A and B are shown apart, each in its own frame.
Chain A
């Protein structure tokens, strides 16, 4: 039973299109994240939600809009896709809320590989 699951695993689309990636976790964690990993493997946080509330919003174009319908789900919608959006997007979850108390151990999904043509 997958702890953090993302769909779709692969996504190939044209520039200008709109696409969504969905994430679900069954760990009972309160906090969920979206990270972007570029071709050089650098993993950079985009957003974080704690109990459906947005707590981290890094410098990300407003074409990216996260939505958390409940604490077990976090979706990412991307409008007007650009070539530079091609990357692997990872969803993650953890039990630590918005401020660190102890080690913030993230559990990652397998990633959604987005290719924009």
Chain B
């Protein structure tokens, strides 16, 4: 069983829409949950991370963790074409395990 499962999409939305991305994880011991963004032909870069359950907001981005259901979410409000990228969730065990990544395209 993979440590993190993520729907690879792809996901295409019009500009201004809310983008909703989700992952599930297997090990209830995980405490840190991360979202990385990867533009085409670039390396992944950290977008934001949360500790344990709850929400974290950074501008148009909101990360949510529900430890009871082992569910991680990322919401992008007022999406822009510049948000078009692959979004990877990750759980922070000793090696940082990634989901498969969801490719998002925001259409102008």
Interface residues of A (CB under 8 A from B): 4, 33, 40-45, 48, 56, 58, 90, 92, 94, 98-100, 102-111
Contact check, B8 vs A106: say whether CB atoms are below 8 A apart: no
Q: How many residues of B contact A (CB 8 A)?
A: 24
Q: Which among A43, A94, A105, A111 is the interface contact of B49 at CB below 8 angstroms? A: A105
Contact A42 B101 (CB under 8 A): yes
A105-B51 Cα distance, complex, nearest whole Å: 13
Residues of B within 8 A of A (CB): 8, 32, 34, 38, 41-46, 49, 51, 86, 88, 92-98, 100-101, 103
B residues less than 8 Å from A103 (CB atoms): 32, 34, 49, 51, 92
Q: Mind listing 18 A-B residue pairs with CB under 8 Å?
A: A33-B95, A40-B8, A41-B8, A41-B103, A42-B100, A45-B96, A45-B97, A48-B95, A56-B95, A92-B43, A94-B96, A104-B92, A105-B49, A107-B45, A107-B46, A108-B44, A108-B45, A111-B41
